[in-house]
Amino acid sequence: MSARLLILPGDGIGPEIVAEARKVLDALAADGGIDFELETALVGGAAIDVEGVPLPPSTLEAARAADAILLGAVGGPRWEHLDIAIRPEKGLLGLRRELGLFANLRPALLYPQLAAASSLKAEVVAGLDILIVRELTGGIYFGQPRGIRTNDRGEREGFNTLVYSESEIERIARAAFDIAMKRDHRLCSVDKANVLEATELWREVVNRVAADYPDVVVSHMYVDNAAMQLVRAPKQFDVIVTTNMFGDILSDQAAMLTGSIGMLPSASLDAGAKGLYEPIHGSAPDIAGQGVANPLATILSVAMMLRYTLGRPELAARVEEAVSRVLDQGLRTADITAGAAAVGTAAMGDAVVAAL
Ligand code: IPM
Ligand code: MG
């Protein structure tokens, strides 16, 4: 059976890095390893330029019809003057919400070859393997009411709402416990239950779900402490489950422990096997079009797609091993190594294909 894949290159370095991921997909197809139909559509600023909106109905339609979606990145200074409701980021947020992609998996895995690139001492990060499970369709990102209004003193005020229902907490907690069962059986739930009622409930529901997973050791941490622990002793973590906004912040922080945010893939999954796969970094407008961006996070996102949507863990492992092999060969993009020694985006993609 052939899988339907939708490619959304997006903005900035998005098209460049997605092109390298495509080479990997094509190589796997040529090998007879996998069969898929590819479609490409516009999202983010690229869609605003052509259609006037960041998530055109045709893109959403194609996304609904697809089994899996591979996205580059969205956003850039060109669109920053636009109203927040029609900025490129809304294209991505709309996809997450409309497709019910509530479970965002963000692994922070240190490749031993890159230990020296980490901002922390090599012994603090050696062997690091954390999976952040970020709630992705609720919380303060989507809570109503929201906006900017004039209060009764005549002053403008901005406001957002942090809201989580029990069912929203329960389903992300279950997803995280299920993942912890397949890893080291340790789950740390990150909240701010000492201040925010929404996360007081979060903690209560996580504890309730924990009763169904007696083999998982559960802990709870306030987000400020979690941010500190991530740089103090990151290896204490196996799986972290947290809210949409805390997960946004902690996953960027955890990424840096691994040497470069340019290495980290992500999967955003619905209640079934459908997923949107993207690097966790952004569109990097400062280096867009120069052919220097690191395509490995996007290529590793293809590996996650093979594992979580396409049910081909052996092919996922093959891609991950190919990435490891190019690192063994000493190949590094400019985000990891400065100067003339760095290889470009296409050369890195070609090397991964060769290593496959
Ligand atoms: C991410 C990004 C997005 C987010 C932006 C681009 C809307 O930072 O995926 O982490 O905040 O979720
Ligand atoms: Mg982010």
pLDDT value of residue 116: 85
The chain-wide mean pLDDT, for the chain, equals 96
**% of residues, the chain, pLDDT over 70:** 100
Which of 67, 90, 111, 141 is flagged as catalytic?
141
251 C-alpha to ligand 2 centroid (Å)? 7
Q: Is 224 in the active site?
A: yes
More confident of the two residues 324 and 119? 324
Which tens digits make up the pLDDT trace of 154-211?
999 999 999 999 999 999 999 999 999 999 999 999 999 999 999 999 999 999 999 9
Q: Is 121 in the active site?
A: no
Residues with CB under 6 A from ligand 1: 75, 89, 92-93, 248, 280
Q: What average pLDDT does range 204-222 have in this prediction? A: 98
Tokens of 238: 């196996």
Q: How far apart are CA 85 and CA 80, in angstroms?
A: 11
112 C-alpha to ligand 2 centroid (Å)? 25
- Write down the H helix ranges in the chain: 14-30, 45-51, 57-65, 88-98, 122-125, 166-182, 197-210, 223-232, 244-257, 296-308, 313-328, 345-355
More confident of the two residues 159 and 86? 159
176 C-alpha to ligand 2 centroid (Å)? 19
Which tens digits make up the pLDDT trace of 290-312?
999 999 999 999 999 999 999 99
Which tens digits make up the pLDDT trace of 3-36?
999 999 999 999 999 999 999 999 999 987 889 9
Is the CB of residue 212 less than 8 Å from the CB of residue 236? no
Which tens digits make up the pLDDT trace of 126-142?
999 999 999 999 999 99
DSSP string, 248-275: HHHHHHHHHHTS-GGG-EEEEE-SSS-E
Coil/strand/helix, residue 123: helix
pLDDT value of residue 157: 98
The answer on pLDDT for 85 being more than 90 is no
Q: What is the pTM of this model?
A: 0.95
DSSP state of 31: T
Instruction: Pick the atom of ligand 1 nearest to 252's CA.
Output: 10
Q: What average pLDDT does range 111-132 have in this prediction? A: 91
Domains in the chain: ranges and CATH? 1-101+263-356 (3.40.718.10), 129-257 (3.40.718.10)
Q: Is 248 in the active site?
A: yes
* DSSP β-bridge partners for residue 241: 133, 189
